[in-house]
Chain A
């Protein structure tokens, strides 16, 4: 029933706007349910890969309050985010999240999310006040590109309601975008590499060039190109 209320459309439009938003975002400031703080809730999180030919490594989903960030635009990525973005490994990001005081729970994807595929994840919390959701997952045919969203406020979601977001691709800024096959996990190359040889800050990904667009040394082809958005996320409160 009552999915996609009009306010949810607004949330979807703003979802892009929430990456790197530090804390007290009030763009959807209708969180009136002060008495809801003791309510427990279960959420279904459905992710869908929208790309042409970019498998997305197991995503990391974190439910948290203000004060937790997977990354901030224009600043240096953490090693945990670098590990996720370069190698598709979400374990460090999830374990650091679980140790963070502002994090309520987290869940990782079961496996690589192929183009056109969807996966449903579940998360339960017992405190809804200022509840936010963040998510990140690597596009494996890139050097350090990842689809992500930071801090979508889901605290006002009622049982049965859902909201959705379309996620763009970011560049962790930790590995040069050489597109050499030996440097990307999707082409059989290396994953995480402690060396940082890129711009050093998180940006919006500029896309891949590929051999078909004149970069002769690229291990990628036309089909690997992408545009924003790359990942769809639907969050439904089921109880």
Chain B
């Protein structure tokens, strides 16, 4: 009898930890915006305790570098340090309406949760974010939607001046070349210096002056900004 009880216990243990095994799955990301591009997207399967960002908390230096300039090297190092799996996505900015698929093969057993981040360009420190979603275990197709966040590390002045390094005010570029010049600047400070839902772009209609270098008819968005389809094989 004792033996049987032990066996039942083991079976329950297996059920409870059902997600803790290697998985194969793909992550297809579609840019749903009208005029905002996604810099190289970081797609990772990591332990459930790993968070690239937390709304209401200050951004890490690595997240700031990604959100202000599209640099994912710091976040990649952080993830390697916790043994996360990282799947390659786009190497050049992902255009509005287009998709990219990242493929995970034989992930480490502990890496049960999916996170996705990439800078929204042109913005000062906006990024598309999906934080720590449990990767489903059953075969199938699962659709998620991701919102635009503000890293809270740089004032949204909406001026395209090449400023992409952390702490350098300004927007690096507009891959869609819909931006203007000569703006006087929208916001001088961030009212919320923690990670928060991005309030969107104001822009203006003057390509050579006005308050913003962004185009109010092109660069605005409403959430969600990305569709993320997880296909578990």
Contacts and interface: CB of A to CB of B under 8 A. Distances in A.
| A and B are interacting partners | yes
B96 A25 contact: no
Contacts of A214: 204-205, 216
Interface residues of A, number: 38
A24 B222 contact: no
Interface residues of B, number: 33
A74 B141 contact: no
Contact of A206 (B138, B139, B145, B222): B222
B142 to A, nearest CB: 5
Contact of A227 (B222, B224, B229): B222
The binding surface of chain B is classed by DSSP as: loop
The binding surface of chain A is classed by DSSP as: loop
A29 B222 contact: no
B34 interface: yes
Contacts of A177: 217
Interface in A196-225: 199-207, 209, 213-216
Nearest to B33: A203
A58 interface: no
B223 A24 contact: no
A27 interface: yes
Given A203-B97, A209-B220, A25 B143 contact: yes
B42 interface: no
Contact of B221 (A17, A22, A206): A206
A80 interface: no
Interface of B: 30-35, 96-99, 136, 138-145, 200, 202, 204-205, 216-217, 220-225, 227, 229
